[in-house]
Amino acid sequence: MSCLPIPRGVYQTVAEISPQALAGRGIRLVLADLDNTLALYRAEEPTPQAAAWARALEGQGIQLFLLSNSRKPGRAQRLAEKLGAPFQGHSGKPGRAGYLRAMERMGCRPEETVMVGDQIFTDTLGACRAGVVPLLVEPIRLAGNPGRYLRYAVETPFRLLGKRRPFV
């Protein structure tokens, strides 16, 4: 399955993605990227907004699952524990396999799942390829890596198109 990597909405932070609205759309599983989505790069703590959002998801009966490409041993696990969520590192995004494994593990189908991430060519593209609704957030912080500025500049047209098609 292939598609254009256009997200279903672009949100400033995860806090703008309403757990109540997700539940109303039949969503049971939120796959979420880690770096620059729920935590700063190299951070050992999720942002306070991400922690509150994780609790709000749980309150709506929605399971949060960290889907990360991180290769740092233990970091994804420690952050997942702090959020009370299962995780999968080395997910191989934008490949479909990591998404499909996570959904199978959680007993959910693509139509019951959304992916929340900050990058078009990993998070959004992978979600689209797996048949999952992609939701995009602005990165927590771009500073520190010149390559990120270039990557986000290339993503601009997809972000603009995504802002016109909100999911929640």
Q: Do 123 and 113 contact (CB within 8 A), yes or no?
A: no
∠ CA 47-143-13, rounded to 5°: 35
Residue at 106 is within a domain: yes
User: Which among 166, 168, 132 has a CA at the least distance from the CA of 60?
Assistant: 168
pLDDT by 10s per residue, the chain, length 168? 447 899 999 999 999 999 999 999 999 999 999 999 999 988 889 999 999 999 999 999 999 999 999 877 788 899 999 999 999 988 999 999 999 999 999 999 999 999 999 999 999 999 999 999 999 999 998 766 677 778 888 999 899 899 999 898
Residue at 32 is within a domain: yes
**What CATH code is carried by the domain that includes residue 147?**
3.40.50.1000
Tell me the residue range of the domain where 74 lies.
10-155
State whether residue 91 is helix, strand or coil: coil
- How far apart CA 34 and CA 76 sit, in angstroms, is 8
Residue at 2 is within a domain: no
The token duo for 151 is: 């990557």
Residue at 144 is within a domain: yes
- Structural domains in the chain (count): 1
- How far apart CA 36 and CA 148 sit, in angstroms, is 11
